[in-house]
Chain A
Amino acid sequence: MKKRILQLCATVAGMAIGLTAFAANAATTLETVKARGKLICGVSMSTPGFATADAKGHMQGFDVDVCRAVASAVFGDPEKVDFVLTNINTRFQALQSGEIDMLSRQTTHTFSREVSLGLDFGPTVFYDGQGLMVPKSLGVNSAKELTDAAICTLPGTTTAQNLSDFFRSIGGKFELVVFESPDENRNAFFSGRCEAISSDRSDLASIRAVANNPDDYVVLPETISKEPLAPSVRQNDSNWRDIVSWSVWMLMAAEERGITQANVDEMAKSEDPEIQRMLGVSEELGKMLNLDNKWGYNIVKGVGNYGEVFERNLGTKTALGLTRGPNTRWSEGGLLYAPPFR
């Protein structure tokens, strides 16, 4: 009798798990997100400028605003998003297991990640690259002049790999000094333990920003690696990937067209057919994404255009003080190029 009850329990449990699994498989990410009433977005654990919490615990940053743009597209409200903090080791797994709907976490788009990790990348939101920073007093103007230099870095195979690739290509030598924590790394560099410090250029800018006298340090012109940072989603959900991708392109296109958070209501009255399509005044682009037709309007109203997002979180008026560099419109010599909305 007991055995039979156990068997029954096991069967019921198995069926329950099977059913929920089936239900979860059947629902697309968009349906899941809509049913939940909130987007769940994986971001990094406090990277200045990309994702940090303000005094009220409200998340802000460049990566965070990408999440808010998608939340605006789906719900018309940039606040309808919950943030899950992910670290380097658990970020992809969080996406694969369905814990998060999208990952917006300073993640470099690479071949092996896209092909073998079960995820799809959206458009590049930030073109970064590994660089080197030295004290001005060293009198070095190019990374090629650094010979036998001690270079401070954080652990992580690609950083060291890129450095050794670069120095092998110029036939130079260097000594790697690795620190576990960003604070130690920074202080070691400031105290003169190393001649140079190497990291992504956006990161170097934030390190330079906290120096006692930022003008004492200079970022060398060489960029020794390509680091296109892009949001990612689970693979094989093409509607959801479209939503994330075109939300990002909407940010870029809005800047190209001069649509800002402040003037979006004005622009909705524009005669320009592409602006009309983007803001949902004419045609039905939103419906084609299974979204509200005013999705584009909602994105710009919610977070602004790409330029506004950049300047608010990373730009010259912030502590990071980054210039746009390659992250500017193609028409101005940058790399941002949104496909046409038609």
Chain B
Amino acid sequence: MELFTNLGLASAELFSLTTMALMMLGTLVGLLAGAIPGFTIAMAVVLVLPFTFAMSPVQGLATMIAVYVGGLSGGLMSGILTGIPGTPSSVATTFDGYPMAKSGKPGLALGIGVWSSFFGGIIASIVLMLIAPQLALIGLEFQPVDFFALVIFALTVTASLAGNEMLKGLMGALFGLLIATIGSDVVFGLPRFTFGIDAVSKGFAFLPVLVGLFAFSRLLNDVRDPDSASKRLGGDQSTNVVQIDYIASAKVVLARWGNVLRSSLLGVFVGVLPAAGSTISNILAYDQAKKASKEPETFGKGAVDGIIAPESANNATAGGALIVMMALGLPGDIMTAIMLGALLIHDVIPSPSFISDEPTIAYSIFLAFFVANFMMLFLQSITLRGFVLVTKVKMYMLTAVILFYCALGIFALNNIGYDMWTLFIFGVLGFVMRALGFPIVPIVLGVVLGQIAETRLSQVFARGDGLDVFFTRPWALFFILLSAFSIMFPSYQKHMGKKRWTRFFLPVLLIVMSVPVFTMPGYVRPVIAGLMLLTGIVQLIMRLREPSLTADQTPTT
């Protein structure tokens, strides 16, 4: 009942003519950004951010969510028509979307992609509305030590996703944390690492740092050599203008509702994990769809399920990322980090009590995510021709203009030139670090999460909790253990099926994680812990009975 009351309050705020017009515009910008290969959604959200300063919190966030949703869907257009994914979240869409388009059915391929994005987004928004308030209730159990452990977990996951560069990923995350310590300490405001420069004593606002690290390194990398600078965004292929076959494609997608549901839920789950994001979810969903398909041999040749899975998953991932940001106040990826920044600018501080303290804003975000999917569906059909034209723009033109927009937008943040210098310095740093093989995302999340971590740690101190609290508090122990496993995860992935110890990774994970879950309050979680323990033990016994691996054996999972 409370859900509907809050939705009613939010509707009154959200469904104004101005907000709807802004959301339409945001969706359009997102679709446009998504359609341009090499132009990421995060970049689009960054560029839109300064415009939201003059808006109300609901308007600003609704616009940014619209950009986010539009961007996730926009990537499918260039992916299907040119074979070049507009965004990393549409990589798997090209595997079957492009072959289907080449086989003479581009309208059907686009239609399937658009409907799958739509249903993925709708399923995610329903999950968001149902899960986020519940997760926030769990978040209320969190004490400072639990939050601190959660931040550590987020950083280790981010670093572990750097794959072969995990060491540099971890170093990058620590480097990001170190950047966040520059300025003054959170307890007494004492200057720290200023080296006598007065201007640095106020530290670095995280948005200029984030934009500098991310946008500069990305854009300047794209124009590094003159040939790639002169390339058109959508490649040099000629693309014929097509019409989306809506009715036929809707029927095709609805006939495969199982795949839509599975991929969407997988997308939400991946979105909840810190830093995982739609780049991973679309590939995972594609892989799962192929494994579940009765005709796996058709994948890669224009399989319908091969388009449905990644497109449902990537849109649903946005819902998952929003769940964590709304419920726990922690950004899981760059997009939600920027949105967190937008909320802070409007003096709204996300935390576990955010949904109950600010129901209008919180439920407006839920609703905006829901509505943006309808807008995406509508706009994608009428603007397709224009998007194809935009992909003809050359890379260097985009770079020059966007770098200027970054400077302008960052200045508008606090109206001080210092922020533009921060942008420049971290732009250089980001470019150099990328060139040296450091993944940028862990650095960015380190900067964003650094202050949160230090604040929580200082609260642990202020409460007089000893260090043993990390091992006696169930949630803290849960995240510390998860952090340890996430550090080992890349090694597990690399050696899976090849080395004997990898057989025991998952059973041991289940058994170990059941310990903190068992000590949590209530009845449900201890029961879940019991099930985890039982499953872990059964799996362990089964793995022990399996014959040893031989050198030429290939992985089975």
Instruction: Answer whether A and B are interacting partners.
Output: no
A residues contacting B by CB (< 8 A) are: none
